[in-house]
Amino acid sequence: MTWTLIVLPIVDDDIRQVTSYYQDVAPRQAERFLDNVETVFEDFAHHPYSSTPHPNGLRRHSVKAFPYSVWAYVDDAKRTVVIAGVVHDKRDPRLINERAGNVHGGVIIRKATGQDITSNMVATALDDN
């Protein structure tokens, strides 16, 4: 059974930055990167627990052939995976920890706007679809 996947808007920015870089230095790699990220998203949708758990409450899945990882929160109760970031493996870990926020009465993931997405908002978003 497939889990619901929610991709935060900031993840689009992450992916745009990486693909822009690869378009400049190796255009064929940009397409390959996008394909590999899509594969990770599919893996999260079908097997969310095949990823590596992290103390910040998120799970990490490496992007094949690239020094990047996809970070996500898995919500068992709603069978939902919230993709929180696509981040270079050498980036300061505070970046993804900041996005992870904290887990208290539901997931809180900070967006670039500073607005928080809580599990209640995720449930509302799912109900609207």
Q: Phi/psi zone of residue 57: left (φ > 0), alpha (ψ -120 to 50 degrees), beta?
A: left
Sign of the dihedral defined by the CA atoms of residues 65, 67, 72, 76, in that order: positive
Tell me the one-letter amino acid at 122.
Answer: V
pLDDT in tens, 26-58: 999 999 999 999 999 999 999 999 999 998 889
Average pLDDT over residues 56-71: 95
The domain ranges of the chain are: 4-128
pLDDT in tens, 79-127: 999 898 999 999 988 888 877 763 323 444 443 334 444 444 344 333 4
On whether the CB atoms of residues 41 and 86 are closer than 8 A, the answer is: no
Average pLDDT over residues 62-79: 94
* The pairing of beta strand 59-62 with beta strand 80-88: unpaired
End-to-end Cα separation, the chain, in angstroms: 18
SS3 104: coil
pTM of the complete model beyond 0.85: no
Lowest average pLDDT, out of 13-17, 18-22, 66-70, 116-120, goes to: 116-120
User: Which tokens hold the place of 112?
Assistant: 């670039």
Classify domain 4-128 at the CATH class level.
alpha beta
